[in-house]
Structure 1
Amino acid sequence: MSIIVSSLTIATQMALSHVIRGRLSDLVQNDLLKGCLLELVAAAEMCGTCYELIIVADNYGVSAYGVYLFLMTIWWGQSWGTATACPYSLLEEYVEEGTNPLHVVFKMIAQVIGGLMSFRWVKQLWMLELAQTHIGRGVEDCTADLQVPVILGFLIECILTCACRLFSRTLGQFEPKFASAIDSFFATSMVVLAFNYSGGYFNPVLATGLKWSCRGHTNMEHVLVYWAGSILGSMMSLKLWSLPTVRSTLVDKFKTKTE
């Protein structure tokens, strides 16, 4: 019964967010305001549903967590449109396309607000105690997922974020059938790989929405691991992708494996 409640909790948030996105896209004409609102909704949806994923992981294991995350990531790729709910995606766009830096800042602020506000309704849902797994979760203090020294956590978030971004860029060169599923599978695999070490967030807003001020690390350590780590990993992927030898090697390897 509890897994059904968790599944419905996740599905309901995703469905409501999808409807809200559609209404915002139709009603809001200003591009910047629309972009900020869509980022806010996407970040709130991501963090709100991932709170419930914590319940799934705690009670049904990392494998169940991975399956849910894989399916959710595919959905987000189809539903969010231009929204990313991820600061380094905006920074990559700025570096590559020269987007307005103020727009990037405003959208990042909207992402953080969406991520932080998500617990307001998740807490209310948990306090209804519709499932055994929700009992007490709305009032207990949170604990950090960082189970390794800060520098190691920083390196994990940095290197695996870089790997995920390079894989996505390589995949984009071919656009194979089921590309979103392949990309989601790789990203989910990296999350599962890092799960028992740094938590495997690879997204500053997701980490902050779920684990800001939690016991187990200071806020400065949180910023270093989950903001500096993943953003540096993203920027490293841009630098590596710009090197012809790296790009050709990745593309050739991917081409060989798909032939």
Structure 2
Amino acid sequence: MAPITGGFNLDSVAIPMSGNLAVSDFGVTGPTPSEGADPELSLSPGEWRLPGLWKEDGAPDWTEEPDGDAIPLYQDGYSIPTGLATVEVTLILAQSDPLVHEITRGKKFDENGYMTVDGGGSSKRYGIFTEEIFKNGLIERKWAPNCTVKTVKLQKGEKGSPRGIEVTWTVNRSALLNNDHYGFWVIPPEGQPAPTIASVNPASAAAGATVTITGANLSGTSQVRFGSTNATGFDNVSPTQVTAVVPAGNTGSAQITVVHPNGNATVAFERTGA
């Protein structure tokens, strides 16, 4: 059997190069989907604050962990997620200035540069916006409108190395995001065109059949979906063609989506019973 190589694309490997994080007061409106997709996005300095530099190993660490076991249904193989989740973002700040400490403690220093700290935390809520820029020019952005500081850890100082402040925010659901936790943008490198689909042949087929998707800029396709189900297998044939095997599923409409680092493309498709 030949090795499966469909979807391999070294240009899509995300090697971090730079990034930033901005913090707003709770209630500040974040970028719209179209604004966030602009590579030249600029946040309002009157509403967003920058906690400054990160440690070398301190880039944002986003985690999403469902809480509780899925709810099983009577029929085997079917279940419903509880809908509960713990979503957090952790990063290690390198700067130690009043702004950093005020954001992480939810308080302000007085005229003497003094504050009292409650180790039990603060109920103050914030908006968080992160941006990471990768070597290939890819940009990933996340906006979480409803966050609270969970933990603050002053790392042990080491001679000759910046003392880090490790901060973990709890990311809560927000009505601004249809009660989801955060908005997410993946912005392809400038100058690299998004894929397009001109046709699929055949336009209807049963599970196990191979279809040919024809279009442009298809090299680097990382996945093919029929409806919400991944193709059983797929192959990048050329920049203009991808073949994919129809997965099992209900008959009827099963729109094909070509997943690509420069954007997705779709085309109508019908899954038949035979």
TM > 0.5 between the two?
Answer: no
TM-score interval (norm. to shorter): under 0.3
Q: TM-score normalised to the size of structure 1?
A: 0.22
TM score, norm. by length of structure 2:
0.21
Q: Which has the larger radius of gyration?
A: 2
Instruction: Please state which structure has a larger fraction of its residues in strand.
Output: 2
Higher relative contact order (CA 8 A, sep 6+): 1
Q: Which has the higher helix share?
A: 1
